[in-house]
Structure 1
C-alpha cells in the first residue's frame, strides 16, 4: 500500500494497492503508454510493481479493507469525495435507473443518469441536499437515454463528458435565489472578509470559527433572521441554511450545546465529541466526515458563547449540563464519548456521572493529551509558582525565567486590551478563560472502566510527553488501550493525518 509519492502508508491509512512478484505480467499487450503508466520499477527491491487502482488500508487486526477505486475519488475545494457515495444517493431516488458521477475541471461534479418519465429534477435536488454535504452536491444533473459504452462494455467516459445538457432545471444554481440567501450571503462575506463567497460555499471551509460564528449569529439576529450556532454546523452553507429556515419543518432556533456534525447509521450509538479549551468544535468536522457512513457524530459546544449564557462554575457542573443535553438526543446508553486536551477532563467527569446514574459507557476515547496534575492546582498554585521560580534562579535557568515573565506579560496585556474588543470577542475570551480556570481546579479521579488513548507519533516519540501515558495509567481501573497514529499533535484532526485517526476511531467503535 503506497501513497501518491510511492511511499509506504502505515496501518489504518488509505493507500493504493500495488502487486509484484514472479507471476506479474511484463505489461499490456502492444500498449506501451498504458504499460508505462501502470507498471513501475519496484522502489523496495528487484522487479516491477503494478498499480491496481484499488484504494485499500490495513486494519489493526491484520485484514485488508477495500475502500473503492482510486479513480473514483476526487478532491474538490479541499474535500476528498467518493464519487460512488454520490451515485449511491442518486440511485436511492426511485425515478433514477442508473447514475454516474464524474469530476470535470471546468464544471466540478457532474452527474449523468437515465430516468423514468416521472423524474422530477427539483425533488432530486431536494433529496441530495438532505443526504449530502454541500461540497458533494453535483453542479449539474444530466439526463441521457443510455450510457455510451466501449467495445469491451465499459463506460466510455470521454464520450459521456460530451453529453452535457444546458437545461437550467438540471443545474445547481450558485447565485442567491431569494432575499434570505442574499441577506445571509452578505453577512458571511462581511464577517469572513471574502467578497467572492457563493451560496454553496462551506462556512468553516472558508475560515469560519467560533468567533466568526458568534458574529454571524449576532448580525443575523439584528436582521431579524433567527439563527443559533447549532444550525451553522448542521447547515454550513448559505443555501442549506436558507432552505431550512424557509421550510415548514424548522423550529424556533435556541442555543443548544449539542450540534450534529454528521448523520450516519441509526443502528449504531452516536459519538459525542467535546469542545476544546479554545471553546470550539469545528476541528471535529473532518473526523465526522470520515465516520459519517457508519456513525452519527455530535459535538458538544461550550457554555457561555451565547449572549445570555451562564458560565459553569466547575467541571462537574459542566459535565452534568452536557449529560442533560446528550440525553435529549440519546435517552439511554450505551454512550460513546471523545475528548482531547481540555475536554479530557469533561469526558472523564461525564463518564463518572453517567456510571453513577447506572448508565453504560460503551467507549471512552481520549486523543493525544493527558493531565499534568491530578489534583487541583489552585490550592497550591502560588506556592508552586514561587518554588519553580526559586529553582530557576538557583540553577541559573534564565531561559525558563524569561519564558515565565513573557507568559505573565501576555496574560496582563490580554486583560488590558479586553475593554477594546468587540462584544463577541470578549464573550469568547471570557469563556476560554473560564475553561482554563475550571481545568486547573479539577480533581481527577480514577475511572473504573476501560479507556482508549490515542497518541500522535510526534508525542509518542517525545520523552517530555510520557506523562500523558503515565497519568492515564493511574486513572484507569479497567484496561488502558493505547494506539499510536502517524501525525502531529496540532494537525492530527486535519487532512491528511485525520484519515489515520478516523481509521483507528472507527475500529475502536466497532470493537476491533
Structure 2
C-alpha cells in the first residue's frame, strides 16, 4: 500500500518545488499535475509582462521562497536573466523556470511544456507541449513530436511526427485531437516514422526531422481540377497557401487558410477572373467545387443578410446576431464544435456590400433579421443569441417577436451588456480618435506590408472622412479590393459602435437567458502605464439582465476577457455547455412525450 508522489522542481530552487499525491489516474487524463507548492515555496504563473494570469490560462512558472538559489557560478548574465526581483514580495527573489504551466480549478498546477516550445501562428499563441500531451494519451502513439515549419511563401504550419502501432489515419487522429484542442492547435501535416531521430546524448534531434509531403495535407480524397476555372482557382490557392497539390474538394480553412488570408484570396480571385466576389463567399463555399457550383448565384448571395453556417441537424436551430464588425466570422469555430446535429444561422449587418443601406437603429436591424429568419422558420419558437452587440440585437429581436405573439425559447447572451448604449457618441472627438486607432490596427492585420501607408492620412479627420480616405486608397491599390465593399464594412463598424439603445423602455421578456460572462477585463494601469488583466467587477454579476426578463438568468463564467471570449482557448467550454443544454432539452421532451 505504498504511495506515489509526482514531484517537480528545477535545481535552481533546491531540487523540489511542488508535489502531487497520485491516488488514481483517469482514462481521459493527458498528463499528471505537478501539484501544489511545498512549504516555504511560492509559485507564480505569469505572462511576459510579469502579471499574474487567471486560472486556466497558460503562463511561465516562476518560483520564489527560501529554496531559490543565489544564481549561477561565474555566469553573471545568465543569473540576471533568470533570477529576478520578486514583484509580489519585497526583498525576495524568484527564479524564472522557462516552463509553461497553468493553475487548475482545484489549486494544483498542470505542466504544459517548455517556453521555447511556445510558438505564435496567425495571432494564436500555441504551446506545442500541450498538443504532444494529448497525442501521447492515445494508446496507439508510441512517440510523437509537434513542430512549426514555414512553407515557401512564409505561412507557418503545425506538423505532427508520430511513431505508432498500426497504420496512420490522419482524419481519425485530427478528429480525436479536436475533442480536447481548439481547431488552430490541430496539425494538418503528418509524418509517420519508424522512430524519432535522437542526438548523441539521447535527446530528440528536431533538426533531423524530415519535411512533410504537402500532398498528404488534406483530409479529403484528392480530386484534381478539371475545368479551366477549377485550374485557375487551384493555382491561386497554391500561391497563397504554399501547397503544391490542391484538389477541388479540399477545404480552404482546413489547409491552413484563415480570415485574413481569405481577404487576399478574394482580391486575387477578383483580379484573375475580373469578378466582384465577396469575402463571405469564401466562408459559404470554402472548396473549389462548392465555389464553382455556386458562382452564378454569388451576385445575389452577396446581398444575403442570413448566412447558413450549418443547415443540417435534428436540434432546434440557433440564430446568432453579429457583433460590432457586422460579420459572422466569430461564430465559425463555435459552429464546428457544436457538431453536425446543431443547425446554426448567423446574420450579417445590412450594408456590408456598400450598396444596401446601413441600418439606422438597432430596432431597424432587428426587424430586418426577423424578416429574414421567418423566411426559414415562419412560426418558431426561436433560439436567439449573439456576442457583444449581437446580444443586444438578439434581445431586441426577442422583444419584437414577443410583441407580435411569437415564442422565443431562450436567449444566448455572449458577454453582452447594455452599459454605454444610452450615451450619444455621434459628435465626439474621442470617438474619431478611437476609430482612427482601430482602423490602423484593422488595416495592418488585413494587409500587412502590402499596404502603402504613405498614401493614407487619417489625422484630424472625422470617422466619416477616415472611411472615405481608406476606401479611396484601397480601391486605388494593387490589392484589387472592391471600394464599395471596403466602404460598407467600415461604415457598418462605425455605425455599430455608435447606436443608442434604451432597454429600460422595453417591455419585460418572458424568456430564459443564458449569459456567458467573461471573468476578466483589461484596463490601463495608472501606476505601471500598461494594459493589465483584472477581475471583471465593473458591473453586476448578471450584467443586470434579470431586470429585463421574468424568467431565470443563468450565468456561466468563462475565464476570458470580453475580447477573447470566442477565442479557441475558451470556445470549447461554451460549446460544451450548449451541447449539454441540448441534451437536457431532449431528455425533458422524451419524458413529456
Question: TM class by shorter-chain length?
Answer: 0.5 to 0.7
2:474 is the counterpart of 1:421: yes
Q: Which is further off, 250-259 or 281-290? A: 250-259
Measure the CA separation in 1 of the matches of 2:402 and 2:567: 32
| 1:318-375 superposed Cα distances (whole Å, 9 cap, x missing partner) | 1111111111222221111111111122111101111112111011011123121463
- Uncovered stretches (5+) of structure 2, i.e. residues with no partner: 5-17, 31-135, 148-155, 159-165, 174-182, 190-214, 438-457, 476-482, 522-532, 586-593
* Aligned counterpart, 1:184: 233
- Among 341, 359, 368, the alignment partner of 2:388 is 341
* Aligned counterpart, 1:237: 287
SS of residue in 1 equivalent to 2:313: coil
| 1:60-107 superposed Cα distances (whole Å, 9 cap, x missing partner) | xxxxxxxxx96399999999xxxxxxxxxxxxxxxxxxxxx9745xxx
* Aligned counterpart, 1:500: 573
Q: Which is further off, 484-493 or 219-228? A: 219-228
- Among 507, 513, 531, the alignment partner of 1:451 is 513
Cα distance change, pair 102–277 in 1 and its aligned pair in 2 (3 A)? farther
How many residues align? The count is 369
2:340 is the counterpart of 1:293: yes
| 1:124-181 superposed Cα distances (whole Å, 9 cap, x missing partner) | xxxxxxxxx9x99x99xxxxxxxxxxxxxxxxxxxxxxxxxx9xxx982275443222
* Aligned counterpart, 2:21: 46
- Among 373, 376, 398, the alignment partner of 1:326 is 373
* Aligned counterpart, 1:262: 310
Cα distance change, pair 317–252 in 1 and its aligned pair in 2 (3 A)? closer
- Among 424, 447, 462, the alignment partner of 2:535 is 462
> Is the contact between residue 368 and residue 456 of structure 1 (CA under 8 Å) also seen in structure 2?
yes
- Give the deviation of 1:453 after TM superposition: 0.9
**What is the correspondence of 1:84-483 to structure 2 with a 5 Å cutoff?**
103=168, 108-109=170-171, 172-173=221-222, 176-186=225-235, 194=241, 196=243, 198-199=246-247, 200-203=250-253, 206-208=257-259, 212=263, 216=266, 219-220=269-270, 223=273, 231-243=281-293, 245=295, 253=301, 255-266=303-314, 268-373=315-420, 375=422, 377-378=423-424, 407=434, 410=437, 412-413=460-461, 415-416=465-466, 417-418=469-470, 419-422=472-475, 423=483, 424-437=485-498, 439-441=499-501, 443=503, 445=506, 447-449=508-510, 450-459=512-521, 462-467=535-540, 469-483=542-556
Cα distance change, pair 473–189 in 1 and its aligned pair in 2 (3 A)? farther
Report the RMSD for the aligned CA atoms in angstroms: 5.0
- Give the deviation of 1:301 after TM superposition: 1.2
Measure the CA separation in 1 of the matches of 2:157 and 2:137: 17
Cα distance change, pair 257–310 in 1 and its aligned pair in 2 (3 A)? same
Measure the CA separation in 1 of the matches of 2:331 and 2:220: 31
TM-score norm. by structure 2 comes to 0.51
> Is the contact between residue 399 and residue 507 of structure 2 (CA under 8 Å) also seen in structure 1?
no
Give 1 or 2: higher helix fraction. Answer: 1
Greater relative CO (CA pairs within 8 A, separation 6+): 1
Measure the CA separation in 2 of the matches of 1:250 and 1:312: 23
TM-score norm. by structure 1 comes to 0.58
